[in-house]
Amino acid sequence: MCLACAMPANAQFNLKKATGGLKKVAQAATLTDEQMVAYVKEYIEWMDANNPVLPDDDPYVIRLKGLTEGITEVEGMPLNFKVYHVIDVNAFACADGSIRVFSSLMDIMSDEELLGVIGHEIGHVAHKDSKKAFKTALLTSALKDGIASTSNKAAALTDSQLGSLSEALVSAKHSQKAERAADDYGYEFLKNAGKNPWSMALSFQKLKSLQGDAKTSKINQLFSSHPDLDERIGRMESRATKEGIEKPTSTTEK
């Protein structure tokens, strides 16, 4: 894909700017819904400001918009999509419905495979897995001392804390149950869109082939957590086979 942008093609996903002087919170804290919304908003704004977000007229963004046209919300949560122009192969969903897709992931996926990945991430939002992961990471890695449980206003996070929050979220792993549920959500997501759900298994196979690659060794949140990829590939293949769905003969077209 030819890129008409001035951003460096070898940019790497920016997890954090600084970590010095961070004091972690050992104990849990009570967070109101209002505080959670404020922290999520602050986090995704920081992520977008510190990673190369492609403009609306870029071919990657045009492709993503075409695939996600009409996908505006899940469980009453508005969704928004952006593309990061980075070498890392990944995508992530945030608790506010923000879906971020990495250009290098788009490079290796067919349209249907990419849509399955997006469906998987939306599944984590729909099942509130993203919210749980964010709250856990916030409490264990980034939350500043001194926030009162009775306060309705979230204390602003420093760059150091936002960076550490990013690392905690990237290294976080959903439970086996949550991952399987998100896989099933992606499978049904493809079926409801009139696409071949075999693409879930095929996307897993492509990601498995990249295990150990420099592009995926650092950013491992997408599909490398438990249960392992072989099991997840088998589940998706078995389900499609039982439903009598024909496996695509080619997966290279985008």
Catalytic residue set: 121
Name 100's bridge partners.
Answer: 82, 92
In the chain, the amino acid numbered 23 is K
Residue 77 CA to residue 160 CA, distance in Å, equals: 29
Helix pair 176-192, 111-126: axis angle to 10 deg: 130
The two three-digit tokens of residue 60, written as one number: 């990657």
Cis amide leading into 59 (omega within 30): no
Give every CB contact of residue 73 below 8 A, 6+ residues apart in sequence: 79, 97
Distance between the two ends of the chain, CA-based, in angstroms? 10
